[in-house]
Amino acid sequence: MPYEFRLPGVTHFGWGAVEKIGEEAAKLGRRALLVTGRSAMKRSGIADRVTKLLSAAGVSVVLFGEVESDPSTRTIDRGAGIARAEGCDLLIGLGGGSPMDAARAIAAAAVLEGSILDYLRGKAIDRPGLPLINIATTSGTASEITSVAVLLDDEREIKMGMRSPYWFARVAITDPELTVTLPPAITAATGLDALTHAIESYLSTGATAPSEGLALQSIELVGIHLRQAFADGADRAAREGMAFASMTAGMSFANAGLGLVHGLAHPIGARYAVPHGEACGRMLPAVMRYNESHARAKLARVGQALTGRPTATADDAAEAVESLLRDFNLPLGLAGLDIPSDHLPRLAKDGLLAGAVKTNPRPVNEPETLELLKQAIPS
């Protein structure tokens, strides 16, 4: 059966790849809105480094350092207004998933009519946005590679993903050097996000031969490198391995889709301030077991890739993820989150709003999702 496979226009990968930013930006515009989070990129010096590289290439910079951990539609509209007022002809996202998602949405909102909220709630995206470059500083979200933006609908307290074939970056930069200063907790959470992307896209009903190959490579790399990157952030091989794992997982899920883990991680993150990667990691073993009846052979292959054992089974795959969580001192499921039992029906309902659940290998419904959440709270 024919399929399409989309990626950013140009991808730069490797140690020092960020040095390409000036050269690539100068091909696309002369005045860039540089979108970052509220402090990390400034504190680390990475924002200053990128600004100097852009200036040296003749690209002026307007800094928009207002992106929250869950970017809201209000922030996107404000950023788009600044981009228009400042005459910016290029967007650059710098950071983890939130700044890169925000940059993608701001690039679109700068040329669309009305609020980005209208499009999050279903209005058709009918045109390209401003040219976009995304630079990753974590190894997890792969937002530099994808066409997805996850935004918070403040009024409904719902995180939702939106995507468009217009939204791939013109240039993606994945530079493992930029991840060296990440603390262990963020290394673990973002690594679990990459692993979830790889496993869910491999199991997805939208998977194709290219996406499956990329996903399995990512799973294997996580199994080899994530623990070491967590233990020693300066380990160059581990950082490069995780950066490549994140990138290849992004290439896979950008084309194949995801599953129920991401459907549930969004409302858990939005309502209980759980970092996205941590929420994914917590829920991943339970959803893997939920999907086993519809994906047993594939889950066994996941176990083999993650553990390096050719005899690993589907059960071993879930247990290997649980072992990672224990090594990172992260609880399983919803343990320790103090979620009242009467909140679970809303979580189950909101989790099924995400487009990601459409490609889950096992069809999902609200009663089964509610039962899965109940089982994720230890007695």
Q: Which domains does the chain have, with CATH numbers?
A: 10-177 (3.40.50.1970), 182-375 (1.20.1090.10)
If pLDDT is split at 50, 70 and 90, which confidence band does 2 have? Answer: confident
Answer yes or no: are the C-beta atoms of 21 and 54 closer than 8 Å: yes
The mean-pLDDT minimum among 74-88, 148-162, 291-305 falls in: 148-162
pLDDT at site 157 = 79
Task: Determine the Cα–Cα distance for residues 232 and 89; give it in Å rounded to an integer.
Answer: 40
Task: Determine the Cα–Cα distance for residues 50 and 30; give it in Å rounded to an integer.
Answer: 15
Is pLDDT at 304 greater than 80 in this prediction?
yes
Phi and psi for 187 in degrees, rounded to 5? -55, -45
Percent of the chain clearing pLDDT 90 (strictly above): 89
149, β-bridge pairs = 162
For the chain, the average pLDDT equals: 95
Pairing of strands 171-174, 10-13: parallel
The mean-pLDDT minimum among 28-32, 238-242, 333-337 falls in: 333-337
Answer yes or no: are the C-beta atoms of 305 and 215 closer than 8 Å: no
- Higher model confidence: residue 236 or residue 378? 236
Grouping H, G, I as helix, E, B as strand and the rest as coil, residue 164 is coil
Measure the CA angle with vertex 271, ends 269 and 273; round to 5°. 50
The mean-pLDDT minimum among 31-45, 64-78, 315-329, 339-353 falls in: 31-45
Answer yes or no: are the C-beta atoms of 205 and 152 closer than 8 Å: no
Pairing of strands 148-153, 158-163: antiparallel
Per-residue pLDDT tens over the stretch 247-266:
999 999 999 999 999 999 99
Phi and psi for 259 in degrees, rounded to 5? -165, -160
pLDDT at site 379 = 67
Give 279-304 as a DSSP string: HHHHHHHHHHHHHHHHHHHHHHHHHH
Mean pLDDT throughout 287-299? 98
If pLDDT is split at 50, 70 and 90, which confidence band does 378 have? Answer: confident
Mean pLDDT throughout 5-13? 95
Dihedral class, residue 12 (left if φ above 0, else alpha if ψ from -120 to 50, else beta): beta
The label of the residue with tokens 């979108």 reads 35
In eight-state DSSP terms, residue 79 is H
Is pLDDT at 231 greater than 80 in this prediction?
yes
Task: Determine the Cα–Cα distance for residues 379 and 375; give it in Å rounded to an integer.
Answer: 9
pLDDT at site 321 = 98
Burial of 27 (0-12, 13-18, 19+ CB in 10 A): middle
Q: Which residues contact 320 (CB under 8 A, 6 or more apart)?
A: 223, 303, 306, 307, 312
The mean-pLDDT minimum among 129-133, 211-215, 272-276, 369-373 falls in: 272-276
pLDDT at site 283 = 97
If pLDDT is split at 50, 70 and 90, which confidence band does 3 have? Answer: confident
Per-residue pLDDT tens over the stretch 46-104:
999 999 999 999 999 999 999 998 899 999 999 999 999 999 999 999 999 999 999 99
HSE (side-chain half, CA atoms, 13 Å) at 285: 21
pLDDT at site 57 = 98
Per-residue pLDDT tens over the stretch 108-140:
999 999 999 999 999 999 999 999 999 999 999
Phi and psi for 182 in degrees, rounded to 5? -65, 135
Q: What pTM did the predictor assign? A: 0.95
